[in-house]
Amino acid sequence: METSIFQQYYTIPNKLIDRISISNERGVDVIIPLINTNELFERNLYSFYKQIPINRLLIGDGGCTDRSIEIANKFPRVEVFDHSKCISQGGSIIDLIKNVQTETFIYLHADVFLPGEWYEKMTPKLLEFEWFECPQKITTLIEFWNYKAERSFSGAQMGKKKFFDKFIQTIDDDYLQRNEDIILAELVNEHGGKYGKNEDTFHYHQVMNRRGEKEPNFKSLRIEKETDKEWEIRIFTMQYKGIIKYLDPSKKYLIQGVNNSLMRLQMYDALDIDKTKKWIKITNEKWLPYISLKRNSLKIIIKKIIGKMR
């Protein structure tokens, strides 16, 4: 049976396979800017050293408060750069690139795990591109409360068998599928019983693909982060300013990205239209015809647009 990515994350023992030390390959520098990491960071690093002939691993420490740097320093040929004074990730990335000593280098995120033959399949593209990437396959590992409406929506239930004798004979082998929690709860109520929820405990419910071919696999998941107004204002300001400063409005997705950021800032009343237009004119006036900034209140419209984007 094929080893799943989750088995690779958690069940296979950690073992350092330092590819460059057991091969005759020319090494490459790897850069990783980071501010704290997830619980799989060490496992990710094992995958990096196994898949890549790492000459040096250059870490940009943007101000870690967890064990990320301690974990990284367990590995060979690691150099850590103090980037806690950098204003943005860009400052860290540029400094790391300046310190690269190999002709080719690799930029990785800390929350990435590399599959087998990653390096072998990437390097041929150096003949075709100066800078390239590979697609993402998302693994979702987050824990959150799943509070639904009043309907029953569970995976761990308990009850009295004798009470079920009142209606169990009315249930046929026909239409109970992904609705059994609703039907059982309502039948209990209809026959004079009491259905309820016990919030003194909980169960972990897994969102994963099933083995076999009885049920389709998940295509995608929508993940919603908690909203932090101050953080979002800072991020969306940096996003639109970064694109305008360094790029021209040559592609549709760039224009959409800038205007989406501006709309978010308008929603938070965090955009001075006159100052913004003045900044754009001074920084890269090619963008002015593509910017959508209106003085009248568009909060309701903006909220609807943002709702569709999420």
More confident residue, 241 or 2: 241
- How many Å apart are CA 55 and CA 248, to the nearest integer? 36
**pLDDT value, residue 300:** 47
More confident residue, 294 or 164: 164
Domain 5-127 fold is: Spore Coat Polysaccharide Biosynthesis Protein SpsA; Chain A (3.90.550)
Cβ proximity of 58 and 96 under 8 Å = yes
Cβ proximity of 51 and 25 under 8 Å = no
- Taking only the tens place, the pLDDT of each residue in 63-95 is 999 999 999 999 999 999 999 999 999 999 999
- Taking only the tens place, the pLDDT of each residue in 155-175 is 889 999 999 999 999 999 999
Beta strands in 177-230 (DSSP E): none
> Is the per-residue pLDDT at 55 higher than 90?
yes
The model's confidence at residue 50, banded by pLDDT at 50, 70 and 90, is: very high
The b/e string for 153-173 (b: 16+ C-beta within 10 A; e otherwise) is eeeeeeeeeeebeeeeeeeee
The model's confidence at residue 186, banded by pLDDT at 50, 70 and 90, is: very high
- From the list 15, 192, 193, 31, the residue with the least C-alpha distance to 108 is 31
How does strand 28-34 pair with strand 54-61?
Answer: parallel
The model's confidence at residue 265, banded by pLDDT at 50, 70 and 90, is: very high
What is the domain partition of the chain in residue ranges? 5-127, 161-190, 229-309
- How many Å apart are CA 147 and CA 295, to the nearest integer? 39
**pLDDT value, residue 301:** 54
- How many Å apart are CA 208 and CA 50, to the nearest integer? 27
**pLDDT value, residue 305:** 55
Q: Is this prediction's pTM over 0.85?
A: no
Strand partners, 80: 59
